[in-house]
Structure 1
Amino acid sequence: MSDTVIQVENLGKKYMIGHQQQERYTALRDVMANGAKFLGQRLLKPWGKQSANPAYEEFWALKDISFEVKQGDRIGIIGRNGAGKSTLLKILSRITEPTTGRIRIKGRVASLLEVGTGFHPELTGRENIYLNGAILGMSKAEIKRKFDEIVDFAGIEKFLDTPVKRYSSGMYVRLAFAVAAHLEPEILIVDEVLAVGDVQFQKKCLGKMEDVGKEGRTVLLVSHNIGMIRSLCQKGILLSKGNLIREGIIEAIITDYLSRSSVDDQETNGEIIWSINCNAPGSKEIKLRSIRLLGETGKPQSTFDVENPITVEIIYEVFQVLRGMRIVLQLINQEGVIAFASTDHCQRDEDISSGCYKTICKIPGGLLNKEKYKIKIHVGIPNIKVLIPGQEFISFLATGAGNHGSYLAEKWPGVLAPKLEWRSCFLDKIVN
C-alpha cells in the first residue's frame, strides 16, 4: 500500500562465531602440519565435500522476519537480551547487510543506535551537526534553519565549538538525539541509547518523539523500559531468539512479553540458599546465607494470595564487628518499577558482632496488585560503605481477586492495590 514506509520480507542475519581452540598456542610445526594435511585432502579428493571448520559455528541473530510499518506508526520493539532487536535496527538503518530476505524503505532515515554513531570525534559539535545533516541529504540552508533549535534542545551551547571526543556520554547522546530528531527524517530509529541521558532529558526525548509521530513521521524504538514503550508506542513487535513472536497493539505485546519473562525466570520455590563453601553474595565483612519467602504456614512458597501477608526471611553471617549496618529491601514489579523500599531501622546505631543472624520483614496483606514481583536486597553502612550491592535475588507471584472487593480476578492499574479506608454517610442537606 502507498502508506507503507518499511516492508521487511523473510529477513535473516547470520554470523560466524569463532571458538577458542584447546591448545594454548600454535607452533610453526602445527601450521606446517595443518597445511600439509589440507593439501593432501585436496589432492586425494579434489571435488569432495569439504568438512565444516569446527573452529566456527553459524549463529542466526534473525530468522525469517517479515512485517510492515505504516507511515506515522510508533513501533516499540521488545524482547530479552539477545533477541535480535539491535541487529534488526542496524539492518533497517543500512549499517549491516542482511544474509537473507530484503527490506524496502520509503523516506529518509535518521538513526540513534549507539553513543557516538555518525559523529566524527575530531570535529566540533557545530561541525557534526552540519555533517549529519549532509548525510541525511539536507541542504546547508535547511540545517541552518534548524540549527538554533537543535542546540537549544541539546543544551550544549558552551561546548558547541569543542571536539565531541571530549564530550561525556550524556552530552554525546543529547546532541545526537537533537540532530536525529530535528533534521526532519521521515523515519526515526532509536535504540536503548536514551538510557544514558538523565531523567529530564529522557522526558524531553519522549515528548519530541511524540511530536514526530503526530507530524505523520514514523518512530521505531527499542527499550527495556516498558513504561517508556507503553507511553510512546501504539504498536509493538516481540522478538525472541531471532524469531518474530508477535506483532500488534502495544498493550497485547507487552502482556505477552511479561508473561514469557515470568515463565523463563528461574523458579526458586520461595527460597534461595548459599552453602558455606560457595561464592555467596557479600564481602569480607558479611555474606548472605539464605533468603526465604514464607506464607502463613511458615513454609517457603513462590505464589501468594494478595490478601495474605508475606514474610521475607534473610539469614546472613557477619565476620567482623559492624556499626550502623542497614539492610534495605526493595519490591520491584515485572516492569522494573519500584513499588516501595524499606529498611531495618532497629540496627542503625548498634554494633553487630561476628556470628549468624536472621532478619525478618513482613509485607502486609491487602497491599499488592496482581502480578509478579522481585525482591532486591542491599546491605551497607549509610554514607560509609556498601557491604552487599543491591541485587534482585528472588521473585514471587501475587494472585487472587484483587484488593478492591471485586469478584473478578482482574489486575487493577498501578504498582500497588492497597485496601484503603472508605466511609459513606447520609446527608440531610448540602452545606456550602
Structure 2
Amino acid sequence: GRNGAGKSTLLKILSRITEPTHGRAVMRGRVSSLLEVGTGFHPELTGRENIYMNGTILGMKKKEIDRKFDEIVDFSGVEKFLDTPTKRYSSGMQVRLAFAVAAHLEPEILIIDEVLAVGDADFQKKCLGKMQDVAKGGRTVLFVSHNLAAVENLCSRVVTLSHGVLSFDGSPADGVREYLSDDAEITGFRDLTVIKQGRTGLGDIRFKSVHLESLGGERVAFIRMGDGFRIGMRLQAHQSVSGVVIAIAVFNENGIRICGLNSSHTSRWTLSQRTGHEGMWFCVIQQVNLGPGTYRLNLQLKSSIGNVVFDSIQNAFSFRVEYADIFGTGCTAFGSNIVFFQPNWAAE
C-alpha cells in the first residue's frame, strides 16, 4: 500500500504494540517483529545484552540463545561493537543486529516492516535470503515493502491496503499489478506536509511539496523519452540551516533503484535557509534516458558534513515516462529496458 495506507498500524496490532479500535487479531505461535530502527533494543544496553534480552522476551532459555549467539553475531557483522551500548550504533548497525536477532531466535511468526531500506544492497540480499530460509522451514514471514521485486520473489500471498481497508488479497503477480495500476497519485504535484508514515529526520528543514515540470516551466504529470524536465521542491526551514544537501533516489516499477542524484556530488552545491523561510529548489535534467514506465522518488535533506538527516521520505513522488520515437526509426521495442543510450554505429 501507499504511504498512510495503514500497513505500519496493522503490523503494530499484530505485534501487540497497539490495541485495535475494534475487531481482533488471532495469532498462533511465538511472534518476533522488526518494525523500525532500534525496535526492541534498550539503548543503554550493549549489543550482547540486547541479544539475550530479546531472546528472553521471546520466551527462550539462556541455553537456546547461547546456541544461536554466534550465528546472530556473524550475520549482523557487529562483532567488534558487541560490548558497546546500542545507542552508539549507526542506524545501519542497529538494523543489522535487530534483523539478525529477530530472524535467528526461531519465532513461528516473523514480522518485518520496511526497515531494510536502511541497509546496503549486500545486507538486503542476505536478509531476503534469510527470510526465504525461515519461510521454507514452515514458519510465517509477514513482510511489508515497496520493493516489488522482493515481494514477488519472497511471498506466496500478497495483500494490499488502501486508506486502512483491504483492497486486494491474492497472488504476488496480481497484487503487484493491482498496486501499480493505482496511479491516482501521479498528478505531477504532491503535498508532502501530510506525509507521516515512511518519513524520518530531525525536521530542522523539511520538504513541503514536490512537482514535475518541463524545462519551460509548465507543470506536467509525465514526460516523454529524451525530453528534459525539472523536479521542483518547496522547502521550509524550522531552524536556520546551512550546508544542506538534496538527495534524490529514483526507483522503477519493481522497486529497483535506478540512480541517485545528490546536489553536492554532481555540482558541490548546498543550500542555506533561515528559520521560517520557504524556498523553491530545482533539480534540472536536460535529457531523460529512461525507458517507458512509472518511476518513484525517495527524497532526502541532509547535512554535507556528518550525514545528519533533516528529512527523508520514501515514495515521495511518482512520474511516468511515455514512449517517444527518439531515434526516428519507429522502434517501439523498449518493453523491459530501464535506461537507453544513443549510440552511433560504424564499421571499419
TM-score, normalized by the shorter chain, greater than 0.5: yes
**How far 1:139 sits from its partner (Å)?**
2.2
* Equivalent of residue 166 in structure 2, options 222, 244, 247: 244
What's 1:221 paired with? 143
Distance 2:283 2:23 in 1: 57
* Equivalent of residue 27 in structure 2, options 105, 109, 116: 105
What's 1:293 paired with? 214
SS of the equivalent of 1:252 reads helix
Distance 2:81 2:256 in 1: 35
SS of the equivalent of 2:184 reads helix
* Equivalent of residue 291 in structure 2, options 369, 380, 394: 369
Distance 1:83 1:244 in 2: 9
SS of the equivalent of 1:99 reads coil
Give deviations 1:191-232, integer Å, cap 9, x for gaps. 122233333322221221122122222111123344443443
**How far 1:152 sits from its partner (Å)?**
1.2
Query: Structure 1 420/132 Cα, relative in aligned 2: closer, same or farther at 3 Å?
Result: same
Letter in 2 for 1:206: L
Contact (CA 8 Å) 2:186, 2:319: kept in 1 or not? no
* Equivalent of residue 137 in structure 1, options 59, 64, 67: 59
Contact (CA 8 Å) 1:84, 1:239: kept in 2 or not? yes
**How far 1:137 sits from its partner (Å)?**
2.1
* Equivalent of residue 321 in structure 2, options 398, 401, 425: 398
Give deviations 1:290-344, integer Å, cap 9, x for gaps. 974269xx987544555x6456699xxxxxxxxxxxxx9979355473358699x
Distance 1:107 1:411 in 2: 47
Distance 1:340 1:125 in 2: 32
Q: TM-score, normalised by structure 2?
A: 0.65
**How far 1:148 sits from its partner (Å)?**
0.9
What's 1:187 paired with? 109
Structure 2 unaligned spans of 5+: 190-210, 233-245, 269-281, 306-310
Distance 1:406 1:236 in 2: 38
Distance 1:413 1:89 in 2: 34
Contact (CA 8 Å) 1:330, 1:342: kept in 2 or not? yes
What's 1:320 paired with? none
Is 1:174 aligned to 2:96, yes or no? yes
Distance 1:83 1:291 in 2: 24
What's 2:276 paired with? none
Query: Structure 1 137/411 Cα, relative in aligned 2: closer, same or farther at 3 Å?
Result: farther
What's 1:233 paired with? 155
Distance 2:61 2:169 in 1: 37
Query: Structure 1 336/198 Cα, relative in aligned 2: closer, same or farther at 3 Å?
Result: closer
Query: Structure 1 359/220 Cα, relative in aligned 2: closer, same or farther at 3 Å?
Result: closer
What's 2:258 paired with? 338
Letter in 1 for 2:92: G
What's 1:201 paired with? 123
**How far 1:266 sits from its partner (Å)?**
3.3
Distance 2:30 2:102 in 1: 11
Taking only aligned residues, the RMSD between alpha carbons, in angstroms, comes to: 4.8
**How far 1:190 sits from its partner (Å)?**
0.9
Is 1:86 aligned to 2:15, yes or no? no
Query: Structure 1 413/130 Cα, relative in aligned 2: closer, same or farther at 3 Å?
Result: same
Contact (CA 8 Å) 2:249, 2:299: kept in 1 or not? no
Distance 2:248 2:26 in 1: 46
Contact (CA 8 Å) 1:236, 1:249: kept in 2 or not? yes
What's 1:413 paired with? 336
Q: TM-score, normalised by structure 1?
A: 0.54
**How far 1:259 sits from its partner (Å)?**
3.0
Letter in 2 for 1:332: V
**How far 1:189 sits from its partner (Å)?**
0.4
Letter in 1 for 2:250: I
Letter in 2 for 1:221: F
Aligned residue pairs: how many? 295
% identical equivalent positions? 51
**How far 1:411 sits from its partner (Å)?**
6.9
